[in-house]
A and B are shown apart, each in its own frame.
Chain A
Amino acid sequence: MTGLGWLMMLVAVGGITSLFAWCIYKVFSTPDTAEHMHSQADIKPPDIES
C-alpha cells in the first residue's frame, strides 16, 4: 500500500462516510423529516395490499 493508496482510501472512505454522517445529522436536526422522507421500501404502490 503506497502513500497515494492510503490517501485515496482516506478520501474515498472518509468522504463517503462524512456525507452519510451529514445526512444522519440533517435527519435528526431538521424538524419533521421523518414524516416527509421516503424510501423504496416504504412507498407502497396503490395496487398492493398493505
Chain B
Amino acid sequence: MSQKKTSMEKWGTRVGVILAVTGSAVGLGNFLRFPGQAAQHGGGAFIIPYLCAFVLLGLPIAWVEWSLGRYGGKHGYNSLPGVFRSVWKSKAAPFVGVLGLLIPVAIYMYYVYVEAWCLGYAWYYATGAMPDTKDAGAFNTFFESFVGINEDGAAFSGKSTAILLFVLLCFALNFFLIYRGLAKGIEWFCRWAMPALILCAVIVLVRVLTLGTPDPENKPDQSMLNGMGYMWNPVQDANALAPGDKAVQDLIIRTAADAAEVTMTGEKLTGFKVIDAKGVAWALAKAGWSKIKPETKETKNETKKKDDTPRAPSEGSWKLNKNGTTIHVLNGVGSIKRAVEVEKEVEESLSKLTMLFPRGVAKVVMEGQKFDTIQFQDAAEFEKALKITLWSNENSEDKKTWSNNATKLTLQLNDTKATVHAPGFWDTLANADTWLAAAGQIFFSLSVGFGIIITYSSYLKAKDDVALSSLTACAGNGFCEVALGGLIVIPAAFVFLGFEFVQNPPGTFGMGFVTLPNVFAHMHAGQFFGFLFFFLLFLAAVTSSLSMLQPAIALLEEGLGLTRKASVAILGFVTLIGCLFIMYHSKGLLAMDTVDFWAGSFCIYILATIEVILFAWVLGMEKGMAEMQEGAQIRIPGFVRILIKWVAPIYLLTIFGFWLADNLLGDSARLSAIRDNPVVQYSIGLIAIVAILFLFLIAQSVKRWSQNEAEAQTKEVTS
C-alpha cells in the first residue's frame, strides 16, 4: 500500500515538474508574437529559418545559458555582468553584459502594455462588453479603438482611457508581486493554471480546424485550408492568395507619353496583393476611380474586338472610370499578359493617382499634372514617394531598386518603367531580415539571450540538472508555439479577415487580439472561452514579466548593495516611464514595434551571439561541457559540441553580416525610419538612455566588486 502511494506521489511530482518547467516558458511570445512574426515574414517561408533557428540555435544556446548561469553562481555572481566577469577576465566583460539588463527591462516596458490588452479583453468578455457580432471588421475597430492605434496620445486624451487604467492596474499588480517576492503563487500558477491555458488553446484549435469556409458565397477563398496554406506552404499557393483571382509574381508598370500598360507575369504570388489585377483595381478605386459595372461575357467580347492582343482566359475583371477615362483591368495568367488597358474614351486630365500598397508602408501619390491616360508623373516623384514610405534603394546609373522587407521594386529611369517584384520562396529565404527575425523569435519565446535564464540558473546548486530541464522547457515551449499558436491565429485570421489583413497585421502582437474574438464569436460559450483564454494568457504574461526584472534586481543588489525593495522601486520608476512612452505613441503601434525589434530581436540576437562565443571560445568547450553535463539527467549528444563551437557562432555571425549589409550599409528602410521618423528616433533614444543608465550602474558595481576582491586578498595575505 505504502509502496503504491510512494509510486503515485513520485508520478505526481514528475507531472508537476513537467508542468512547471513547460508552464514557466509559455507566454505572449507563443500565442501572439509568433503568429505576428510569421505573417510579417511570408508565412510558410518563415517556418524554415524558424525551425533551423530552433534546432541549431535555440536548443544549444539554452543549454549554454543554463550552464553559464550556474557557473557564474558558483563564483558568487547572479547578474549577467557579474557572470560574464567570472567567465571572461577582461575589463570589458561586465560592460558587454549590459545587454542582459537592457533587454529584459526594455521588453518589460511593452510586455506590460500587451499584458494590459489581455486583461482588458478578459474584463470585456467577463462583463459582456465585447461586441456581440460575427462581423470581423467590428473586432478590428474594437481593437483599434481600445489601444488607440489611429493616433498618438489616445490613451491620454480621453479617447482610449480604458487602456490607461488597465496598464496602471497591471503595473501595480506586477510591482506588488515583485516587491513582496511572492514566489509560491507563481510556482503554483505555472504548475496548474498554465495547463488550463494549454487545454483552452486546444479547444480553440479544434474550433479553428473545423471552421471550414464561413462565407462560401462572398469569400470562397477565405477557408481554413487556405489559411493553413498561408501558415505552412513554403511556396504560396496562388489560388489561396487572391480571392477569386489567379495571382502573379511580377507586375510591370510601363508608362510612356501617351499610354500606360500594366503587365503581369508569372503565376505565383508570395505576398504582395496589389500585384494582382484585383489589387490594381483596388488601388485605382482608392485613387477615386469608380467602378463602372461588372464585366460580362458580352463586354469581354467587345474588348476583344477592339484589341487583338492575345489574352489568356481571365477569371475576374474590373472597369473603372474617372473623368471620362476608362481603365479596364483584366486578370490573367500566363507567361506575359496585358492586365490593364487604358481606353482613351475622352481625353481628360487625371489630377491625382494614389496607389496604396496594402502592407501599409508604401503609398505613392502623384498629383497636379495632366494626363490623358494613367501616367506616373515622373520617376523622381515615384522615387520620392517610395523614400518617404520607408523603401530602401540600391542605385545604379540607370536603374534604381527599392525594397522594403517584403518587396522589391525596380524603377528604370530611362523609360520610366517600374517593376514590382513580389518575393518568392527563395527571395524570402535570401532576406537576412527573415533569418534574424526567426532567430529573434526563437530567442524571445525560449527566453534565451535575455539574461533571465542566466540569472535564475545562477541560483541553482552544483548538482542540479540543467540539461533535461532546459530541453523540456524548450520543447514544451516550442510545442505551444508551433502546434497551438501557429495553427490557431494565422489560419483564423486568414479565414475571418483575409489575405490583406494577414499581410499587414496591426503590429506584431495585435493580430491575435483582432483574430481570436472572431473565433470565440463562432464558438458555443464563446464569451466564457474568450474570458478564460485572455485571462489565462494575462496570468501567463504576468509570470513572464515578473521574471524579467530579476536580472536588473540582481545587479542592483550585488553590485550596489541595495535591498530588493529599493531595487524594485528604482526599476518601477524607469519601466513606468518607458511603458507610458510606448503607450503614448500608440499610432500604428510604432513605438512598441520599434522597441520590440531593437530590444526584442536585434539586441537578443547580439547577446545570444556573445554568450555562445564566450562559452565556446573563452570559457572553453571542455570546461563548458563539463559544467553542462554536471548533474545532467540526460547525456548531452556529442554533436552538440560542434553545434555550440562552430555551427551556432558561424550561423549567427553570417546572418548578422548579411543583415548589416542589407540594412545598415546603404539607404535602407531601417536607416530611413531612424532618420525620418521621430517616433522611431525617440524609441531608440529610450533604449539608449536605459543602456547608459545600466552602464553607469555596472561601472559602480565593478568598483564594488574590485574593492571586495581586494579586501578578500588582503585578508588572505594577513591570515
Contacts and interface: CB of A to CB of B under 8 A. Distances in A.
Nearest to B543: A41
Interface string A1-44: 11011101101110111011011101110100110111111111
Interface stretch (B20-28, B407-415, B527-535, B607-615): B20-28
B464 A1 contact: no
Given A5-B44, A16-B482, A41-B24, A36 B187 contact: no
Interface residues of A, number: 39
B241 to A, nearest CB: 12
A43 B22 CA distance: 14
Given A2-B233, A5-B234, A41-B186, A27 B459 contact: no
B180 to A, nearest CB: 7
A4 B235 contact: yes
B226 A26 contact: no
B47 A33 contact: no
A6 B459 contact: no
B13 interface: yes
Given A2-B235, A5-B229, A37-B465, A30 B483 contact: no
The listed residue with most B CB atoms (<10 A of its CB), out of A16, A47, A48, is: A16
A45 B556 CA distance: 14
Contact of A9 (B23, B232, B473, B543): B232
B190 interface: yes
B611 to A, nearest CB: 17
Given A1-B226, A5-B44, A8-B234, A26 B183 contact: no
B440 interface: no
A28 B13 CA distance: 10
B94 interface: no
A42 B25 CA distance: 12
B495 to A, nearest CB: 13
Contacts of B48: 8
A42 to B, nearest CB: 5
A27 B468 contact: yes
B41 interface: no
Given A1-B229, A12-B51, A13-B483, A37 B21 contact: yes
Contacts of A47: 181, 553, 557, 564
B470 to A, nearest CB: 10
Contacts of A4: 233-235
B550 interface: yes
Interface in B635-682: none
Contacts of B235: 2, 4
B464 A38 contact: yes
A50 B180 CA distance: 10
B190 A39 contact: yes
Contact of A45 (B51, B180, B182, B459): B459
Interface stretch (B388-396, B449-457, B515-523): B449-457
Q: Is the interface of B mostly helix, strand, loop or mixed?
A: helix
Contacts of A16: 54, 475, 478-479, 482-483
A27 B463 CA distance: 17
B233 A33 contact: no
Contacts of A49: 180-183
B191 to A, nearest CB: 7
Contact of B18 (A1, A24, A44): A24
A49 to B, nearest CB: 5
B234 to A, nearest CB: 5
B469 interface: yes
B633 A33 contact: yes
Contact of B14 (A1, A13, A27, A46): A27
A43 B479 CA distance: 23
Given A13-B483, A30-B633, A38 B460 contact: yes
A33 to B, nearest CB: 5
The listed residue with most A CB atoms (<10 A of its CB), out of B181, B235, B631, is: B181
Nearest to B194: A41
B17 interface: yes
Given A2-B235, A45-B78, A48-B183, A20 B482 contact: no
B452 A40 contact: yes
A11 to B, nearest CB: 8
Given A9-B228, A47-B557, A41 B475 contact: no
A5 B24 CA distance: 31
B649 to A, nearest CB: 23
A27 B553 CA distance: 32
Contacts of B180: 49
A21 B78 CA distance: 32
Contacts of B233: 1-2, 4-5, 8
A22 B479 CA distance: 12
Contact of A41 (B23, B452, B478): B23
Contacts of B557: 47
A23 B478 CA distance: 12
B153 interface: no
A6 B14 CA distance: 34
Interface in B461-494: 463-465, 468-469, 471-473, 475-476, 478-479, 482-483, 486-487
Contacts of B13: 34
A50 B225 contact: no
Interface string B4-45: 000000110110111011111100000000000000000010
A22 B471 CA distance: 10
Contact of B20 (A28, A41, A46): A41
Contacts of A50: 183-184
Contacts of B483: 13, 16-17
B431 interface: no
Contacts of A6: 232
8 contacts: A15-B51, A17-B479, A20-B479, A37-B472, A38-B460, A40-B456, A41-B186, A45-B459
Interface of A: 1-2, 4-6, 8-9, 11-13, 15-17, 19-20, 22-24, 26-28, 30, 33-34, 36-50
Closest 8 CB pairs of A and B: A48-B181, A5-B233, A41-B190, A41-B24, A20-B475, A1-B229, A36-B465, A5-B232
Given A8-B233, A28-B11, A39-B24, 11 more contacts: A1-B240, A16-B483, A20-B22, A23-B471, A27-B17, A27-B472, A34-B13, A38-B464, A41-B543, A45-B459, A49-B180
Interface of B: 10-11, 13-14, 16-18, 20-25, 44, 47-48, 51, 54, 78, 180-184, 186-187, 189-191, 225-226, 228-229, 231-235, 237, 240, 447, 452-453, 455-457, 459-460, 463-465, 468-469, 471-473, 475-476, 478-479, 482-483, 486-487, 543, 547, 550, 553-554, 557, 564, 631, 633-634
